[in-house]
Amino acid sequence: MGPLEGIRVLDLSRYPPGRYCSMIMGDLGAEVIMVEAPKGISEVFSMLVDDTAALYIGQNRNKKCVALNIKKDEGRDIFYRLVEKADVMIEGNLPGVLKRRGLDYETVRGFNPRLIYCAITGYGQDGPYAQRSGHEINFDGAAGLLCSIGYSDRPPTYLQSPSIAGSLGGTAQAAIAIIAALFAREKTGKGQYIDVSVTDGALFYHWLDGAQYLLDGTLPERVDSPTGSDVAWMNIYQARDGKYFTVGCTESFRWASLCRLVGREDFVPHHFSPVEKQKEIYQAFSQVFATKDRDEWLRLLDEADVTVGPVHDFEGLFSDPHYQDHKMVVEMDYPKLGKIKLLNTPFKLSETPAEVRSRPPLWAENTREVLGTLLGFSEEELDRMYREKIIE
């Protein structure tokens, strides 16, 4: 039994922050019903509704898929009936869009006062940017995530994958807030509205540079080093075999161990020396690290209690024995593609485990099942609604 078993989630979102959030709900045991627009009226990228595309498959396991035309009165009435049986609703439209369709919180709560309604937008429901559309690169820039990434003499650099704003700013914030609201509902008996701003969430993760700026006005700066770090004690090094590894020696005793291991005890007093000395140390360390293969350095540095790790590409990542031991990839049968591999859930609970229970649904695969079983529509009614393009 998952910790959210018995919770039903309606997901009207189209983009990854909402879809990944509802996937987390599904991993934790909730019944998740994606409510899609019929393909003829859908306005989203094809890869978001193409049930053979990686973006669709990668964020829609543990869900059911219903295609319902909520622009039609009958389709909207069917959705209201789904709301009556739901615990959570997730949507990702610009402020005001669903109000014009009669699907805003004030309307749907009339059908279910216990509903947790989570709206995920780029900039929140109010403020000067509220009506501004956007994607990850826009949110990253607006939330100050790009200002210190890249070279000091070049433009800021956008890290497309993974998107910190999309994954942390939207998904984690929404998931945490929904679970908190469900917990609160157990005490109050009431649902509530959750306003998730992706950029607010991204800004919230400025726990280092942001805190420093608020404390004393220090501005983060882009670096001179091509590795993204100007300090030797936290940097990326290349081994003899061309592979890279990371060293992160914040603690003085680990820094001393590193210096002794590479035969440069003279660097021990210069742990936090200014940048010019750091560059000298980095070059010296780089020459030493180029004398052995990466795996040998990983072993030696581990034995010396120096914080170290490999720099993986995806081939190395998914073949790493550590992640294989953690079973971070699961394999499932998928009707259109045969055997597929999915990222496993990272949530490890001893008594109420999270798990990948079911494959991603084919697009609109569960329309008849959900509307027939959950709402009691007959086959004749479903056939009629299909002909009238209310459902697919």
Q: What is the pLDDT of residues 309-359, one digit of tens each?
A: 999 999 999 999 999 999 999 999 999 999 999 999 999 999 999 999 999
For residue 67, give every residue at least 6 positions away whose Cβ sits within 8 Å of its Cβ, in sequence order, or none: 36, 37, 38, 39, 363, 364, 367, 391, 392
Domain residue extents for the chain: 8-204+345-387, 234-318
Instruction: Name the fold adopted by 234-318.
Output: formyl-coa transferase, domain 3 (3.30.1540)
Distance CA 237, CA 231 (A): 12
**Residue found under tokens 């008849």:** 368
pLDDT of residue 223: 87
Q: Which two tokens stand for residue 381?
A: 């009614």
CATH homologous superfamily for the domain 8-204+345-387: Crotonobetainyl-coa:carnitine coa-transferase; domain 1 (3.40.50.10540)
- The pLDDT tens digits of the residues spanning 180-209 come to 999 999 999 999 999 999 999 989 988 888
Helices 16-27 and 173-188, packing angle to 10 deg: 50
Query: Taking Cα atoms as reference points, which of 275, 274, 270, 266 lies closest to residue 249?
Result: 270
Residues of the chain with pLDDT under 70: 42-45, 161-167
Per-residue tokens: 38: 């019929």
